Chains A and B, each alone.
Chain A
Amino acid sequence: MDNKTLSVAIMSGKGGVGKTNLALNLGFCLFKGNHPVVLMDCDLGLANLDVLLGLAPDKNLQDVIDHDVPPEDILVPIEPGGFDFLPAASGVPELFEMDEDMRALLLSKLHPVFADHHYLFMDLGAGINPTVLSFASMSRVRIIVVTPEPTSLTDGYALIKVLATQRGVKDFLVVVNQVESKAEEQQTFSRLNMACEKFLGFGLTLLGSVRMDKALPESVRRQVPLMKRTPDSPAGKDLFALARKLHSLRASLLPQLAGEPVLVNFSSGTPD
C-alpha cells in the first residue's frame, strides 16, 4: 500500500523552547482539518506530551520495547476520531540508550500505527544524543525550533551541524518561537541561515514564527491545547498559519511519499 504518512521531527538544541507545544498544536490544527495525526513522544527518558494533555497513561513505548505490548495498546486518543498519541516513559536515565537494532525493532512494530495517520509528529528531547540524531535523520521533514535568545540559536546551530557532518542531513525547516515582532523573526532566522550557508555550505527554510503569547503558558497550566482553548490568540493564529504551510507541504510531497517508507533509513551514519 502506498505511504501517505508525512513524518515530521520536531527538535531543538536547547530545552524549553516550545517543541512539545508546537507538536501538540500543529497536530491539533491538522486533525481539525480532517487529517488523522499521531504524536510520538520521542523524549524517551523525560516524556512530557502527556503532561501537557493532563493524561497519565499507564503504558508507554518502554512497554512495547520491554514487554512486547502491542502498540495499539499504548496508543492514547487525544480527541476521538484520529488524533492519537504514543506516550514515552519518564525517569528512564540516558544510560538506557537504544541501539540501532532496538530502534529498528521498535519502529517496525509501530509502523501499522504510523500508516493509519496522515502525519507523524515526533517530539524529540533536547540535546544531541544518539536517539535524537537517529529520529531526526530518519524523518521525512525536520523542524528545528529556536527562540531569539543567543543560547537557543547556538544550540540549534550545533544540532544542525552535527546532523549535517555526521549524518549528511541538510534540509531543515525553522520555526522561530517566542518572537516579539516580525523583525525579530527575520533577524533570528537570517543569523542562523547565514551561519549555515557560511560555515556548513547549505541554507535553511523558514517555516514561520510564533509570537510570545501568555495564552500559551496559560493553556499549559490548564493542560488543554492552545488551539482548542484560544485559537484566536496571537500564538493561535501563528500556529494555524504554520499548520497550513505543513498541509501544503504534505500535499506537494504526496506523490513522492507514496514510494517511500514513513521513516527514511539514513543508516549510513558516516560523514560525507
Chain B
Amino acid sequence: MTDGTFGNIDALAGELRALGRLIGEAAAPAAGAACVGASGVLALTRLVRGMGPDDWFEMASRNGLSQWLALPVAEQDFPLLSHLLATLDDLAFRTEHDALTGLANANFFTRRLEKELDRVNRDGAVLSMALLSIDDLDGLTGRFGPAWAERVFMELARTMGRVKRPYDLAARLGENLFGLILPGARPHNVCAMLERLQAGLAASFACSGGDGSGNGGSGNGDATAGVSFCAGHTTCVGRISGRACDFHELATAALTQARRKGAGCIQATKLPDESFSPQATMVHSDEKKFLFSGI
C-alpha cells in the first residue's frame, strides 16, 4: 500500500514493529517471556483511541478485565497507525450511519427492526414504526437549490434526536425518507411524538430566520418557515405473522396515504395484529342484553 493516505507501507510496518517491541518489553515481566510470539506467549493487541491508563484501570476493575495488559502509547509516535485506526472507526460508523445526518442507515434500521420484532413475538410487547418524508422537496429544491434540502434534512435529524426517547431508533432510509423504531409506543404515542417533531422542525426554522444552520439565513426564510413532513406509522402487539418487510410495507402504505392527503399529514395503517383490536374479546351489546334479560 503506497497510496497517499497511509504513506509508505514500510513506514507503517516500522510503526508496527516498534509497537511490537513495546509490548514485548511490557509483557516480559508479567508473562515471564522474553518477547512476543516466543515460548507460546501470545499478545493480542488492540489500539483504543481517546483512552488513557486511568480510564482503563477503572473500566478493567468494573468489568473484570484485570488480566489484560494495558500499555499507554503516545499518538504522535504512531501517526500512521493512529490514522489507520481513525479510518477504520470511521468506516465502521459509516456502514451503519448516514453520512450527512449521522442517523442510522437503512441496513442498521432493518437489523434493529428484526430484533425488535423478535422481542415482540417473544414477549407480546408493543412495537411501532414510523416513516416520514419532507413535503414538496422537489419544488422547493428547484427554487432554493440542493443545499437547502441538506439543511432541512440535518435539521430534521437534529429534531428527531431531540424528540425521540433514548431507546428509539431514528434513521435515514433514503434521500428523502426517514424512519423511527419506537418500542413500547402505541398509535397515540406515535402520533403525539410525530406532532412534537412537526412542531419542533417548524420552530427551529422559524427561530433561525429560515436558515437551519442558524447563521443568518440566505434569503429563503419565507419558504423554509413552512417546512413540514408527511408521516405514516403502524403498530403491532404480540405475535405478528409477517417479518420486518411486511411491517415496513404497512408503514409505507400509511405514508403513501398521508402524502395523498396533503402536506403535514400523519396517517396510521390498519394494524397487522388481530389481538391489538379488542373486538375478539370485547363483550358486545347483544351479549349484555342477553345477560340482563335472558333473550
List the interface of chain A (C-beta within 8 A of B). 99-100, 150, 153-154, 157-158, 161-162, 165-166, 190-192, 194-195, 198-199, 269-271
Contact = CB atoms under 8 A, between A and B. Distances in A.
Interface stretch (B87-95, B188-196, B279-287): B279-287
Nearest to A190: B294
B291 interface: yes
B292 A194 contact: no
A164 to B, nearest CB: 9
Contact of B291 (A99, A166, A195, A271): A195
B275 A271 contact: yes
Given A99-B123, A100-B123, A166-B275, A271 B280 contact: yes
B49 interface: no
B186 to A, nearest CB: 16
A162 B281 contact: yes
A153 B289 CA distance: 11
A135 to B, nearest CB: 16
Closest 6 CB pairs of A and B: A162-B281, A158-B283, A165-B281, A165-B280, A195-B290, A153-B291
A161 B287 CA distance: 11
Contacts of B294: 190-191, 194
Contacts of A270: 239
Contact of A154 (B124, B239, B281, B283): B283
A99 B122 CA distance: 11
Interface in B238-265: 238-239
B288 interface: yes
- Interface band, chain B: 10 to 19
A34 to B, nearest CB: 40
Contact of A269 (B124, B281, B283, B290): B124
B124 A150 contact: no
Contacts of A153: 291
Please classify the interface of chain A as helix (H, G, I), strand (E, B), loop, or mixed, using the class held by over half of its residues: helix
Given A161-B281, A161-B283, A198 B275 contact: no
Nearest to A200: B287
Given A153-B291, A195-B291, 4 more contacts: A100-B123, A192-B291, A195-B287, A199-B287
Contacts of B292: 150
Contacts of A162: 281
A234 B281 CA distance: 37
A10 B130 CA distance: 43
Given A99-B123, A192-B291, A270-B239, A157 B275 contact: no
A153 B293 CA distance: 12
13 contacts: A154-B283, A157-B287, A158-B283, A161-B287, A165-B280, A165-B281, A166-B280, A190-B294, A194-B290, A195-B291, A198-B290, A199-B286, A271-B280
A126 to B, nearest CB: 16
Given A99-B123, A166-B275, A157 B281 contact: no
Contacts of B124: 269
A154 B123 contact: no
Nearest to A198: B290
A228 B292 CA distance: 37
A152 to B, nearest CB: 10
A194 B292 CA distance: 12
B291 A157 contact: yes
A194 B287 CA distance: 10
Contacts of A99: 123
Nearest to A192: B291
Nearest to B295: A194
Nearest to B293: A191
A54 to B, nearest CB: 37
A101 to B, nearest CB: 9
A251 B239 CA distance: 39
A192 B291 CA distance: 6
A158 B280 CA distance: 11
Interface in B107-140: 123-124
Contacts of B287: 157, 161, 195, 199
Nearest to A99: B123
Contacts of A161: 281, 283, 287
A271 B124 CA distance: 13
A269 B286 CA distance: 27
Nearest to A150: B292
A40 B69 CA distance: 54
Given A154-B283, A271-B280, A191 B291 contact: yes
A157 B280 contact: no
Nearest to B292: A150
B239 A150 contact: no
B288 A154 contact: yes
A150 B281 contact: no
Contacts of B238: 269
B190 to A, nearest CB: 21
Interface string B221-243: 00000000000000000110000
Nearest to B279: A165
